[in-house]
Amino acid sequence: MVDNVSSLHTRESSIRVWPVSSLLKAIADSLEARFNPVAVQGEISGFSRAASGHCYFSLKDDDGQIRCAMFRRATSLLDFTPRDGQRVELRGRLGVYEARGELQLIVESMRQAGQGTLFEQFLKLKAKLEAEGLFSPDRKRSLPLLPKAVGVVTSLGAAALHDVVTALQRRVPHIRVIIYPASVQGTQAASELRDALLKAYKRREVDVLLLVRGGGAMEDLWAFNDEALARSIAESPIPIVSGVGHETDFTIADFCADVRAPTPTAAAELCAQPQAAWLGLLGAMAARLLNGVDRQVQDSGQRLDIAASRFSRPSHFITRQQGRLASYQQNLRHAQRTSVTHIQNRLSLMNTKLDQALAYGTVQRKDRLANANMRLELLNPQLVLQRGYAWLATLDGLTIARVSQTHTGQPIRATLMDGQVDLTVSSQRLI
């Protein structure tokens, strides 16, 4: 037992005790000798650029990650902007950041890797259409300030439709919304979207079109990267707002549209200024007018005071000038009251017109509903039976509409207004 303890103490005393900095330097030397220079491929995560120009991020794959630092000199040589989720190939040197004892890769060069077929197709089509001028700012049109009707091109089951309709109902409940349904995902989506746009172009019943869809992967949004759809958007006679995906998603449709919105809800808000904003603007204008009149009265009063002070003698001249000043003040007050009354009358008239317009729209919708109910009632087959007609059918319930469907001796059933009668065919005669 004593021998074992002595042997243990001997082995422990033979282990080298390292200072931390020396151990880290030795590890760094081992990495340098065994691995460097090194090339590695992975996905960027947590990318950030410091004020100094240095970039810091992690490079990861499914099973691990490594911290990376790319100094300003190497960063200045990049021909693209790195972003999270991008696959890249790095070349550099492994080392140890001694201040924290962390393994890190000092990146000397970076290039893009594994963009994928879809992304390459996207870039190729984007370059082609941009060269043809489909993205030119000169062909972009401004949106109508006060649209009378808004068209929405999207799927009836899409969450984007609910978001758009909710935003429009909240901001401009008096504006008519027309939906042109189309699939927004799948092999047929691009052609359905084109057909919906062409239908809107032909009808010309809206002042602005919203092309919207919720977010998703590039594959989910691929219908909006269709070349034929892009050309249909560029040829639109109606201003188009594209609200496809989230704020970070971009499609070819975004570049061709007159306005690109970051989300479907934002697209609805861009084309519809809220009713309250217009009423608030009218109120602000009225307040500015009143303030202007008040300032004018005050300035005029000051000028009159200065003019009066210049004529202190003779007394009769002063009296005459004071009378004139009083007359001016009375005229100014009258003008102020008249202007305020005129403004109030205009505001009241505009409010009345707005209420009338909303009431007229409600009456129209009620009339249309009543007409539809009347037309539906006219199609009621019971009305035909009440006029003396009967519905003939076999005993199995098959409708008989022609003589050729019967034969002598055949039992048939006639349905009248208040019941049924069983009959037998005794003879046949064509008209």
Q: Which residues of 17-29 are buried (b: 16+ CB within 10 A; e: fewer)?
A: eeeeeeebeeebe
Name the residue ranges covered by the structural domains of the chain.
15-112, 119-270, 275-377, 385-424
Tens digits of per-residue pLDDT, 382-417? 777 777 788 888 988 888 888 888 888 889 998 888
45, pLDDT greater than 80: yes
User: In what helix (H) or strand (E) does residue 58 lie, and over which residues does it extend?
Assistant: strand 55-60
For the entire predicted model, the pTM comes to 0.44
**What percent of the chain is modeled with pLDDT above 70?**
91
For 57, list phi and psi in degrees, rounded to 5. -165, 175
pLDDT class for 4, splitting at 50, 70, 90?
low
User: In what helix (H) or strand (E) does residue 34 lie, and over which residues does it extend?
Assistant: helix 20-34
260, pLDDT greater than 90: yes
Q: What is the model's pLDDT at position 12?
A: 57
Q: What is the model's pLDDT at position 9?
A: 52
Q: What is the model's pLDDT at position 56?
A: 92
> 33-47, 88-102, 232-246 — which one is most confidently predicted on average?
232-246
Q: What is the model's pLDDT at position 81?
A: 85
pLDDT class for 246, splitting at 50, 70, 90?
confident
Strand pairing report for 38-49 and 87-97: antiparallel
Tens digits of per-residue pLDDT, 121-140? 888 899 999 999 999 999 99
256: Cβ contacts below 8 Å, ≥ 6 apart: 129, 134, 135, 230, 231, 233, 234, 242
Q: What is the model's pLDDT at position 10?
A: 53
240, pLDDT greater than 90: yes
Q: Where do we find the tokens 């590695």?
A: 40
Mean pLDDT of the chain: 84
Q: What is the model's pLDDT at position 241?
A: 95
Angle at 246 between CA 276 and CA 237, to 5 degrees: 65
312, pLDDT greater than 70: no
Q: What is the model's pLDDT at position 132?
A: 92
Q: What is the model's pLDDT at position 63?
A: 84
150, pLDDT greater than 80: yes
Mean pLDDT of 223-228: 93
8, pLDDT greater than 70: no
The secondary structure of residue 23, as a DSSP letter, is: H
pLDDT class for 114, splitting at 50, 70, 90?
low
CATH 2.40.50.140 given to domain 15-112: yes
pLDDT class for 429, splitting at 50, 70, 90?
confident
The CATH number of 119-270 is which of 3.40.50.720, 3.40.50.2300, 3.90.1150.10, 3.40.50.2000?
A: 3.40.50.2300
